[in-house]
Amino acid sequence: MMDTDRKLRFANQQRLRELKRDMASGVTIFCSHDAKELEALQRTSTP
């Protein structure tokens, strides 16, 4: 993973962990750089 502001990247990762913890059943977190993961999620999502 590349960053230009390490402290900010770590803070954002912590926010994502908290979101996942607090909203586990309503949130799916995935890598925006992974086209295959995105495609798989798009196939299973409901409009």
Tell me the mean pLDDT per 10 residues along the chain, length 47.
86 93 86 90 80
Residue pointed to by tokens 């402290």: 7
Instruction: Find out whether 27 and 20 touch, Cβ atoms under 8 Å.
Output: yes
Phi, psi angle pair for 43, to nearest 5°: -70, -30
The reported pLDDT for the residue numbered 27 is: 86
Q: Which amino acid is present at 12? A: N
Phi, psi angle pair for 26, to nearest 5°: -110, 0
This prediction's pTM: 0.65
What are the extents of the domains in the chain?
6-44
The reported pLDDT for the residue numbered 1 is: 59
Residue pointed to by tokens 């295959």: 36
